[in-house]
């Protein structure tokens, strides 16, 4: 039997795992490289197109409704399923680009054999879990095809079965598994990852092998893998898969919950608000807002520090992630602070701490997600977060003022003409959140329509009004945004599978019984909750923490008479603080990367703002009127 040349086989494997990888453009390998490049371009193009369609359809629907028409049939479920496609195609793209969220603890290992071994192990476990998730998704699609009757209307032009839309799930997990296999490094690493893929296929085919066996060895496996660098989705999805396998429950239960979350009616608001933040960061909106805040508060002692905190909060509101703010604005703000005479350690600590400010203000993405998971009115969370968000900003700004006085940092004399000029230049950016919030609270637009309006507003600001982002670059911006969104939404999706297991196992009820037996005071409960959420915020990103932990904590809050909105604000505020908590708070690693400083130096830089924000979180926790005063 004739065999293909080894270079051709290597080219096939490389293109399958990473279509963008370079293969010499000659002979058979060149042909596969050409196919790979086209696949890569098509993949990014599809992600960008899906995101663009999600931004367009809600606006068209709102316009038709305002004109007195009935709108386009089936737009809402179509946008929900586009979110599903964005989530998982974006996750596959994030794997290729290296954008999958993971703990940075793997980088703390010494370079050399230990780090290489950790990388191979992490990738092998990630391949195992991804393969099992792909098989679980195949079972879900089969079940929907054989027994489901749901259909989707495609802009009134026809209908497709729901199972056809679900095909993106097994396809994406398969691509993710192949890419993780290829990224395992050298040939021995790839062979180990290939063996892990074979084990995943075998376990998926013969799940009875693990039925009744203890799940803890598998759980330990995925936890260790995450600690040394495996993507976060692997520990959540792997834990769910192995727990269901041990109980003899079909593993299709995991993607079933993933699908349920992905097509939530309000979930499309998350990627659309994120897109708005990406577009604003891509243009020069930060420079215009910097000038505005400088004109407003630059005359104060520490005015530049106050300006930095306010600007970071503004951007974090839209992007929903403090990491994006630190990475996008860090260099600009760091240079501005040093130029005004602030100490470098202070500048680094201020930007690192300010990156998480804004997560309590409308329309912050974590508040939206909390409302979806906890089934709390999102508008009430927006109202409840207003004063607590101002409190945290005031604490950081006050620290900036004290530092400004002590260091004698430069100040800008107040000038009405300068303020008018800066306000005129930044008028569109200032109006954008106002229009969005008014639309939500007036009832003129739904949450998803408001998020689409924000994305369109940001698009017009940077492409038409200021012409800072050429249309030719938009596909790249949309692709990068889709990649980041996919890296987040895949975590949320598999986390829902783990949450489903915990609920089925009655973990919330057992936890409630234990707490009621051992804790009698609501104040003690809140203090214990602060400590728990601080630890959770260190170890998990805010999105997966909400999906996994909220179903456990919400019943406890009700049992102790904690207002559901107040509990939500406590939850998000604590997770904000976790971003700054050594040794593994996410913002600490991002700041270390952005400012090229050792982690130990970042730890020292954030010590003061960490203590200040801890005081703020305690005030938010024990003074509930800060949250509920405008809800009565």
Of residues 584 and 167, more confidently modeled: 167
> What pLDDT was estimated at residue 623?
95
> What pLDDT was estimated at residue 278?
87
> What pLDDT was estimated at residue 36?
64
Segment 431-479, tens digit of pLDDT: 998 999 899 998 888 999 999 999 999 999 999 999 999 988 998 999 9
> What pLDDT was estimated at residue 26?
46
Of residues 24 and 198, more confidently modeled: 198
pLDDT of residue 21 exceeding 60, the answer is no
Candidate from 97-111, 199-213, 236-250 with smallest mean pLDDT: 97-111
The whole-angstrom distance between residue 88's C-alpha and the CA centroid of its chain comes to 13
Segment 260-276, tens digit of pLDDT: 988 888 999 999 998 99
Question: What is the C-alpha to C-alpha distance for residues 563 and 522, in angstroms, rounded to an integer?
Answer: 12
> What pLDDT was estimated at residue 143?
94
pLDDT of residue 15 exceeding 80, the answer is no
In the structure encoding, which two tokens stand for residue 619, read together? Answer: 């005030």
| DSSP of 207-266 | GGGTTTS-SHHHHHHHHHHHHTT-BHHHHHHHHHHHHHHHTT--TTHHHHHHHHHHT-TT
Of residues 42 and 179, more confidently modeled: 179
Q: Which residues pair with 159 in a beta bridge?
A: 153
> What pLDDT was estimated at residue 16?
36
Question: What is the C-alpha to C-alpha distance for residues 107 and 131, in angstroms, rounded to an integer?
Answer: 26
pLDDT of residue 178 exceeding 90, the answer is yes
**pTM to 2 decimal places:** 0.87
Confidence band for 592, pLDDT divided at 50, 70 and 90: confident
In the structure encoding, which two tokens stand for residue 278, read together? Answer: 């990406």
Question: What is the C-alpha to C-alpha distance for residues 189 and 196, in angstroms, rounded to an integer?
Answer: 11
In the structure encoding, which two tokens stand for residue 343, read together? Answer: 């100490």
Contact 351, 539 (CB under 8 A): no
User: Please, what is the average pLDDT of the chain?
Assistant: 88
Nearest one of 127, 119, 249 to 199, comparing CA atoms: 127
Segment 374-414, tens digit of pLDDT: 999 999 999 999 999 999 999 999 999 999 988 887 788 88
Confidence band for 11, pLDDT divided at 50, 70 and 90: very low
> What pLDDT was estimated at residue 32?
55
In the predicted model, what is the mean pLDDT of residues 98-120?
Answer: 80
Q: How many residues does the chain have?
A: 632
Candidate from 5-14, 321-330, 382-391, 424-433 with smallest mean pLDDT: 5-14
Q: Is 26 exposed, middle or buried (0-12, 13-18, 19+ CB in 10 A)?
A: exposed
Segment 50-68, tens digit of pLDDT: 999 999 999 998 888 888 7
Question: What is the C-alpha to C-alpha distance for residues 18 and 348, in angstroms, rounded to an integer?
Answer: 36
> What pLDDT was estimated at residue 13?
34
Task: Give kind and range of the element (H or E) at residue 151.
Answer: strand 151-153
Q: How many CB atoms lie within 10 A of CB 57?
A: 22
Question: What is the C-alpha to C-alpha distance for residues 295 and 310, in angstroms, rounded to an integer?
Answer: 13
Report the percentage of the chain scoring pLDDT > 90. 58
Question: What is the C-alpha to C-alpha distance for residues 399 and 201, in angstroms, rounded to an integer?
Answer: 56
Candidate from 13-22, 48-57, 184-193, 594-603 with smallest mean pLDDT: 13-22
In the predicted model, what is the mean pLDDT of residues 220-246?
Answer: 93
């Amino acid at each position: 039997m004739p065999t293909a040349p080894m270079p051709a086989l290597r080219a096939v494997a490389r293109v399958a795992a990473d279509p963008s990888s370079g293969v010499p453009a000659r002979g058979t390998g060149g042909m596969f490289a050409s196919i790979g490049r086209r696949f890569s371009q098509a993949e990014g193009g599809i992600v960008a197109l899906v995101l663009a369609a999600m931004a367009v359809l809600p606006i068209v629907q709102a316009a038709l409704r305002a004109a007195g028409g009935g709108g386009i049939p089936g737009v809402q479920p179509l946008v929900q399923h586009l979110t599903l496609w964005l989530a998982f195609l974006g996750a596959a793209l994030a794997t290729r680009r290296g954008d999958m969220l993971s703990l940075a603890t793997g980088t703390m290992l010494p370079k050399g054999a230990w780090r290489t071994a950790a990388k191979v192990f992490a990738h092998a476990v990630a391949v195992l879990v991804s393969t099992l998730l792909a098989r679980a998704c195949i079972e879900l699609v089969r079940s929907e095809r054989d027994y489901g009757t749901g259909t989707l209307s495609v802009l009134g032009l026809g209908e497709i079965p729901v199972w056809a839309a679900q095909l993106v799930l097994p396809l994406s997990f398969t691509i993710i598994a192949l890419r993780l296999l290829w990224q395992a490094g050298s040939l021995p690493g790839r062979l180990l990852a290939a063996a892990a893929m074979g084990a995943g296929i075998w376990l998926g085919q013969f799940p009875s092998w693990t039925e009744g066996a203890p799940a803890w060895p598998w759980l330990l496996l995925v936890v260790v893998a995450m600690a040394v660098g495996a993507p976060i989705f692997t520990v959540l999805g792997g834990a769910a898969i192995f727990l269901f396998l041990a109980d003899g429950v079909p593993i299709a239960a995991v993607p079933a919950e993933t699908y349920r979350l992905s097509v939530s009616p309000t979930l499309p608001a998350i990627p659309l608000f994120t897109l708005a933040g990406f577009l604003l960061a891509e243009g020069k909106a930060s420079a215009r807002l910097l000038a505005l805040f400088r004109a407003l508060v630059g005359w104060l002692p520490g005015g530049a520090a106050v300006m930095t905190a306010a600007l970071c909060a503004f951007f974090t509101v839209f992007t929903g992630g403090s990491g994006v703010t630190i990475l996008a604005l860090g260099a600009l703000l760091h240079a501005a602070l040093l130029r005004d005479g602030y100490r470098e350690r202070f500048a680094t600590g201020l930007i690192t701490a300010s990156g998480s400010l804004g997560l309590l203000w409308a329309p912050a993405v974590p508040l939206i997600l909390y409302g979806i998971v906890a089934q709390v009115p999102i508008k009430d969370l927006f109202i409840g977060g207003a004063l607590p968000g101002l409190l945290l900003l005031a604490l950081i700004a006050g620290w900036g003022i004290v530092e400004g006085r002590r260091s004698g940092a430069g100040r800008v004399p107040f000038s009405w003409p300068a303020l008018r000029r800066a306000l005129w230049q930044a008028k569109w950016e200032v109006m954008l959140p106002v229009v969005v919030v008014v639309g939500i609270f007036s009832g003129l637009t739904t949450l998803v329509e408001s998020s689409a309006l924000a994305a369109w507003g940001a698009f017009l600001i940077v492409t038409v009004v200021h012409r800072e982002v050429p249309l030719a670059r938009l596909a790249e911006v949309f692709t990068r945004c889709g990649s980041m969104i996919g890296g987040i939404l895949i975590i949320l999706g598999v986390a829902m599978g783990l949450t489903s297991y915990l609920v089925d196992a009655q973990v919330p009820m057992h936890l409630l019984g234990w707490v009621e037996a051992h804790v009698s005071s609501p104040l003690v409960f809140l203090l214990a909750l602060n400590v728990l959420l601080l630890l959770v915020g260190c170890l998990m990103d805010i999105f997966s923490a909400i999906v996994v932990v909220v179903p456990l904590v919400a019943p406890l809050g009700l049992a102790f008479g904690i207002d559901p909105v107040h509990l939500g604000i406590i939850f998000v505020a604590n997770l904000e603080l976790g971003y700054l908590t050594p040794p593994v708070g996410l913002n600490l690693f991002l700041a270390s990367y952005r400012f090229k400083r050792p982690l130990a130096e970042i730890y020292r830089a954030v010590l003061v703002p960490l203590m200040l924000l801890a005081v703020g979180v305690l005030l938010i926790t024990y003074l509930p009127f800060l949250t509920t005063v405008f809800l009565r």
